[in-house]
Structure 1
Amino acid sequence: MRLFKVPKNLFPQVKNRFPFVYLEHGRIEIDDSSVKWIDKTGSVVRLPVATIGSLFIGPGTSITHAAIGAISEASCTICWIGEDSLKFYAYAEPPTADTQTLYKQLRLAFNDESRVEVARKMFARRFPDADLKGKTLQMMMGMEGRRVKGLYAQKSAEYGVPWSGRSYIPGQSSKSEPINRTLTFLNGLLYGVVTSALLSGGYSPRVGFIHSGSPLPFVYDVADFYKEYVTIDLAFKLVHEDADIYDRHVVIDAFCDRLLERKILMNIISDVESVLEI
């Protein structure tokens, strides 16, 4: 079985692709014409992987070796995630990235002075009116912690959704409050989208400037650019609209709408380039 290969220069750039497709409880295969998804009922859907930024593979999903090859050839990232996006197990990186961006990232991250300068530019996106000159990384992280704590309280009051703090019980999502469950799921989706974009741009998700000691520090650094509107505000809005129902498909649709509305996928790489330009 041999697929017709389209030249890579004809594939859409990541900024022009649909952000992601989430799949669970089924299998991904290929036939002589395309990659296909077969769900648990046996229904078949063709996946236009050359127009998708990333495939998020959830619980109960299998994928053939041939399908992974075809998806990779289309420069579509594959992310294996756990239930409610709580766990990010692995990702398959398309072999098309430019290593020059990685060299620059490493050079800046492994120099103490430039690392703090990049972090300062990242924080300046959230504190446009603050004078961050001379502030240490720890000082700026403290400012950010207070800002986010205040943001949660603000959204709680704005949407009338009770808030008692960030918490989540691994493996027992049904026991978590709707707001925490929704936040966790949305954050997981955002991390997957950011990972896909960073890989496409040749960056390493594992080399961060603010976060450290975690599996994907650069993903967390960049995701924080967008969390306020794309995950935090959206989570409180969704829970406000129906606090007793947690439908992940509704959450995914709303999340994609916000990504497209703010052109997040189109802007991730340029946003990263701007903070690394020092």
Structure 2
Amino acid sequence: MADVARRGASSPRELTRVAERISFIYLERCTVHREDNAITAEDAEGTTHIPSATIGTLLLGPGTRITHQAMSVLGDSGAAVAWVGEQGVRYYAGGRSLNRSAALLEAQATRWANRRTRLEVARRMYRLRFPEEDPSGLSRQELLGREGHRVKECYRSEARRTGVPWNGRHYIPGDFAGGDAPNQAVTAAAQCMYGIAHAVVAALGCSPGLGFVHSGHELSFVLDVADLYKTEIGIPVAFDVAADSIEDVGSRTRRALRDRINKAGLLDRCVQDIKDLLLAGQTQMENGEDLEVLGGQDRVMLRTDRDMSVPAGRNYAEAEVSW
């Protein structure tokens, strides 16, 4: 029974930390195979080898086929996989967590389940986005109002900086081409950020659905995390792309955003921000496990009435223990 939790060939120490991975790789019109512990992308021009352990998110565009073995190695390495459109990005699937521990997930659930701590995390998220403001004491309605004002001002500021005409945010789901160039770029940037945030959330073993600002959606926490970097990275990159040309906005936004994210080391920062938000600056878990090696042991425990943990994989029917 304990073997259910065991990963395949890769041990925790063999897996590349999500913070050290390439944010995402986009492939289209090719066939993706597996060769040893790498994946290969084969098209009319030849074959490209990509080490699976270096991938944060693999974006599979139109005309892409992928084998079962390729998906197996991607899942084993903890990479996220998304099937995407040519002009926009949507996140459909993810790999296993890189963690072996549920410590971050339990911390997330504990803070989410209490209205007071849930609001505290929402305030900390706002402070991460706008460090010059103090959201202490603000209600949810006040937080949402201030956030909306700051995002609108960000759009106007980026329009002035780049000289791009801006008539407001307009997006019709499923109609990417219906928007003007800056709206298309903002949409493409936002969807890429959702994919990256989902990859980090999944890699850390957190629940995508337990959000602190967003609620009621299967990706609520993913949306929370992606929004942390919207006004700093996503929107400025989108306006830079729109200012350069109105042609091929979706793919150019993806490339520009990928370069900016890799240069800024966003994945490393995203990992640390999630830990800080959920663990409130703790340096040790209650069981003494260091956060730097969180999930380093592949083990399953059982919870007792006194909130203690005992090893799984044994029968306690005749055990004389004080729980």
TM-score (norm 2): 0.78
- 1:86/1:170 contact within 8 Å kept: no
Does residue 16 of the first structure (1) align with residue 20 of the second (2)? yes
Q: Distance in 1 between matches of 2:97 and 2:234?
A: 30
CA 1:205/1:261 → structure 2, altered by over 3 Å: closer, same or farther?
A: same
| CA drift at 1:60 | 2.8
Residue aligned with 1:38, SS: strand
| CA drift at 1:270 | 0.7
Does residue 30 of the first structure (1) align with residue 34 of the second (2)? yes
Question: Residue type matched to 1:144 in 2?
Answer: E
Residue aligned with 2:65, SS: strand
More helix by share: 1
- 2:57/2:196 contact within 8 Å kept: yes
Alignment match of 1:126 (pick from 117, 129, 137): 129
| CA drift at 1:215 | 3.1
For 1:1-278, list aligned pairs within 5 A.
5=9, 7-31=11-35, 34-39=38-43, 41=44, 43-88=46-91, 90-97=92-99, 98-242=101-245, 244-278=246-280
- 2:33/2:66 contact within 8 Å kept: yes
Q: Distance in 2 between matches of 1:247 and 1:135?
A: 38
- Give a deviation string over 1:126-153, Cα, whole Å, max 9, x none: 3333332221111101100011011111
| CA drift at 1:250 | 3.0
Q: Percent identity?
A: 32
TM-score (norm 1): 0.90
- Structure 2 gap ranges (5+): 1-7, 281-323
| CA drift at 1:32 | 5.5
Mean alpha-carbon deviation: is it higher for 168-177 or for 221-230? 168-177
Question: Residue type matched to 1:239 in 2?
Answer: A
| CA drift at 1:68 | 0.8
The alignment yields a C-alpha RMSD, in angstroms, of: 2.1
- Give a deviation string over 1:209-265, Cα, whole Å, max 9, x none: 0011233111111111111132101111111122x3225443222112211222101
Residue aligned with 1:257, SS: helix
CA 1:95/1:15 → structure 2, altered by over 3 Å: closer, same or farther?
A: closer
Question: Residue type matched to 1:189 in 2?
Answer: C
Question: Residue type matched to 2:253 in 1?
Answer: V
Residue aligned with 2:206, SS: coil
CA 1:30/1:127 → structure 2, altered by over 3 Å: closer, same or farther?
A: closer
Question: Residue type matched to 1:15 in 2?
Answer: A
CA 1:51/1:177 → structure 2, altered by over 3 Å: closer, same or farther?
A: same
Q: Distance in 2 between matches of 1:8 and 1:126?
A: 32
- Structure 1 gap ranges (5+): none
- 1:78/1:93 contact within 8 Å kept: yes
| CA drift at 1:120 | 0.8
Q: Distance in 2 between matches of 1:73 and 1:36?
A: 16
- 1:178/1:246 contact within 8 Å kept: no
Mean alpha-carbon deviation: is it higher for 141-150 or for 248-257? 248-257
- Give a deviation string over 1:26-56, Cα, whole Å, max 9, x none: 22122457421123x3632112111111211
Residue aligned with 2:93, SS: strand
- Give a deviation string over 1:83-119, Cα, whole Å, max 9, x none: 433433x212225423111011011011101000110
Q: Distance in 1 between matches of 2:17 and 2:134?
A: 37
CA 1:105/1:6 → structure 2, altered by over 3 Å: closer, same or farther?
A: closer
Q: Distance in 2 between matches of 1:143 and 1:51?
A: 38
Question: Residue type matched to 2:70 in 1?
Answer: A
Question: Residue type matched to 2:275 in 1?
Answer: E
| CA drift at 1:80 | 2.5
Q: Distance in 1 between matches of 2:125 and 2:96?
A: 27
Mean alpha-carbon deviation: is it higher for 99-108 or for 10-19? 10-19
| CA drift at 1:166 | 1.3
Question: Residue type matched to 1:45 in 2?
Answer: T
CA 1:256/1:32 → structure 2, altered by over 3 Å: closer, same or farther?
A: closer
- 1:84/1:188 contact within 8 Å kept: no
Q: What is the count of residue pairs matched by the alignment?
A: 272
Residue aligned with 1:20, SS: strand
CA 1:211/1:45 → structure 2, altered by over 3 Å: closer, same or farther?
A: same
